[in-house]
Amino acid sequence: MSQFPFVGQAYEAPMLLQDAEKCVNWYVEVSQNEGSKTPKALLGTPGLLNNLTIGSGPMRGDWPLPGGTQAIVVSGNEVFMVSIATAATATSNAVLKATQIGTLLTSTGPVVIRDNGAGGIAVIVDGVNGYVVNIAKQTVIQIGDPAWLGATRIAFIDGWLVFNKPNSQTFYVAPLYWNGTSAFDATYFALKDSSTDNLVTFIEDKRELWLVGERTTEVWYDAGSSEGQNFPFSRLQGVTMQRGCSAAQSIARVGDSLVWLGQNEQGQNAVMRTIGYEIQDVSTIAVNHAIASYPVISDAIAYSYQEDEHLFYVLTFPTADATWVWDATTRMWHERLSYDPVAGQFHRHLSNCHMLFAGLNLVGDYQTGNLYQMTRSVYTDNGAPLVCWRRTQHVWDQDDRERVFYQRLQIEFTPGVGLQNGQGRNPEIMLRWSDDGAQTWSNEHWKSIGPVGKTKWRAIWRRMGAARDRVYEAKFSDPVPRDVVGATLIAS
């Protein structure tokens, strides 16, 4: 009897005969206690519960405002102010409401939103246009200042709103604690020009401005204005990194690090993180290989959030219809995908943007105006099946490469979680296997993980034949808890 490596991260190597692992809608939990029954388990990723429908969608961006009682949300070309209609209680979550306050000139593509703190305004940018939201009056007005140069990103440091001129090295600022009406000063700009590459994206972090170009990265700080120079920011001398960015909206803050989809002179497609003033790759060869196969990566979008003690970086490729997630706590990867039960196909995760508001992790749908609560206590994606999928490592005789006879396999779920009625009354897991390196597959073999109350139930498969090299694959979709403690394989 031996512990079987059913639990593991996603790792489809360039050569499947080396490793063909998939981990979809499950993520690895690593125990911090040496006495745990198993050192690693699989936890089901959160489901989606529709909290509020805002406009017709798609949901393009959101931003919680200071005080925690209001947030700005963009759905299609409409701008909404979201507020708390009914406060949360010990037994129920907050109920939200939305009020339309204006419109944008565009209806698709990501938007970025920032408020300016004490100034009482927020700014929305959609790549070309900028808009001022007067929070008190709840109005939206397009920026018409001749010194406005467009922007795809916004940062806020020490009272300064910072913007970038798209497809250039230029970044510039609004007046200090801008009120939304005073004129921009056309001389308040600077260039990311330690190298010749254009500025792709930027973000504020610890009161520093990280400017990430096509091939290099610079860090600037608020040095204050000096005689003959009104622009407040200066380059941090000696801090230039030979790493760039390939997708402007892929940058996000994850704990004490910044993470983005990167590139440099040698190539692209690696996900990178900052550690101090150093940049390190965090994506595996398998993840890089998958990203390299996508037809477009420049449209990648990302957000980060925390659940329990896990910090997640969620990276979606809209054109490629794929979503990858890096767990910064365990440093392992998994995929998050939605499932179309009619076509029988997986698609990218439904979320397009994220904010923590009213004590909830809220995400906006990329197709509709739905604003979902994202939580592990929900086991569907807005009613659609949330399909977990795990493909294991190769199982083989590493000494002699002889045939292995598989006598029994047990996968231990949290048992007895079946529902009283309907789908999930007797939840089942599907198991199949491949004896040729994940090229062809056996028939499907279904086992119950236990009806309600059957807390000693076990999912066991027996007499599974023999093979020199085998890969197991399991899928689970019933709307019940689907955490996996581990698996045991008896073979000879």
Over 159-181, what HEC string results? Answer: CEEEEECCCCCEEEECCCCCCCC
Identify the residue whose tokens are 């405002």. 65
Q: Are residue 199 and residue 236 in the same domain, yes or no?
A: yes
Instruction: Give yes or no for residue 114 having a pLDDT over 90.
Output: yes
Q: Do residues 56 and 180 both lie within one domain? A: yes
Q: Which H/E stretch holds residue 245?
A: strand 244-245
Instruction: Say which range, 261-270, 403-412, 478-487, has the weakest mean pLDDT.
Output: 261-270
Confidence at 2, pLDDT banded by 50, 70, 90: low
| Boundary of a domain, candidates 334, 354, 385 | 385
Q: Indicate which CATH number applies to the domain containing 35.
A: 2.60.120
Map tokens 């990103």 to a residue.
153
335 to 15, 17, 45, 409, 462: CA distances (angstroms): 19, 21, 10, 25, 30
- Residues 118, 140, single domain; the answer is yes
Determine how many CB atoms are found less than 10 A away from the CB of residue 449: 26
Radius of gyration of the chain (CA): 25
Per-residue tokens: 373:
């609560």
Judge if 15 and 130 occupy the same domain: no
Question: What is the CA angle 18-19-22, rounded to 5?
Answer: 165
What is the band of 3 on the pLDDT scale with cuts at 50, 70, 90?
A: low
Cβ contact 364:353 at 8 Å: yes
Scan for tokens 């045991």, then name that residue: 488
Identify the residue whose tokens are 């279904």.
Answer: 446
- Both 410 and 337 in one domain: the answer is no
Check whether 212 has a pLDDT greater than 80.
Answer: yes
CA-to-CA distance for 150 and 409, rounded, in angstroms?
A: 59
Compare 217 and 417 and report the one with higher pLDDT. Answer: 217
C-alpha dist (Å) from residue 171 to 90, 146, 152, 184, 271: 47, 15, 11, 13, 24
The dihedral of CA 317, 320, 322, 324: what is its sign?
Answer: negative
Q: Strand, helix or coil at 118?
A: helix
Residues 429, 318 share a domain = no
Residue 1 pLDDT grade (very low, low, confident, very high; cuts 50, 70, 90): very low
Cα–Cα distance measured from residue 104 to residue 67, given in angstroms and rounded to the nearest whole number: 25
Of 234, 232, 202, give the one whose Cα is nearest residue 216.
202
Q: Domain ends where: 370, 385, 400?
A: 385
Q: Phi and psi of 376, rounded to 5°? A: -75, -5
Same-domain pairing of 186 and 68 = yes
Asked if 355 and 447 count as a contact pair (C-beta separation under 8 A), the reply is: no
When the pLDDT of each residue in the chain is averaged and rounded to a whole number, the result is 94
Q: Is the pLDDT of residue 440 over 50?
A: yes
Least confident of 224-233, 237-246, 425-434: 224-233
Same domain, 376 and 405: no
309/403 same-domain check: no
C-alpha distance across the termini of the chain, in Å: 10
Q: Which residues, listed in sequence order, are joined to residue 448 by a DSSP beta bridge?
A: 428
Give the residue among 446, 477, 441, 442 at the shortest CA–CA distance from 461. Answer: 446
Contacts of 375 (CB under 8 A, 6+ apart): 46, 47, 49, 360, 361
Rounded mean pLDDT of 45-66? Answer: 97
Last residue of a domain, one of 330, 351, 385: 385
Provide the residue range defining the domain that includes 486: 2-44+389-491
Residue type, 44: G
pLDDT computed for residue 228 by the predictor: 45
The answer to whether the beta carbons of residues 201 and 248 sit under 8 Å apart is yes
159 and 32 in a single domain? The answer is no
Q: What is the pLDDT of residues 166-200, one digit of tens each?
A: 999 999 999 999 999 999 999 999 999 999 999 99
Indicate if 13 and 68 belong to the same structural domain.
no
Distance (Å, whole) CA 236 – CA 383: 50
Identity of the amino acid at 60: R
pLDDT for the residue numbered 124:
98
Give residue-wise pLDDT tens across range 352-378. Answer: 999 999 999 999 999 999 999 999 999
Least confident residue range of 220-234, 310-324, 476-490: 220-234
List pLDDT tens digits, range 71-98.
999 999 999 999 999 988 877 888 999 9
Which CATH number belongs to the domain containing residue 117 in this structure?
2.130.10.10
User: Mind listing the pLDDT tens digit for each residue in 287-305?
Assistant: 999 999 999 999 999 999 9
410 and 332 in a common domain: no
What's the structural domain count of the chain?
A: 2
User: To the nearest whole percent, how much of the chain has pLDDT over 70?
Assistant: 98
pLDDT digit string, tens, across residues 5-44: 899 999 999 999 999 999 999 999 999 998 899 999 999 9
| Pick from 379, 336, 374, 382: nearest CA to 354 | 374
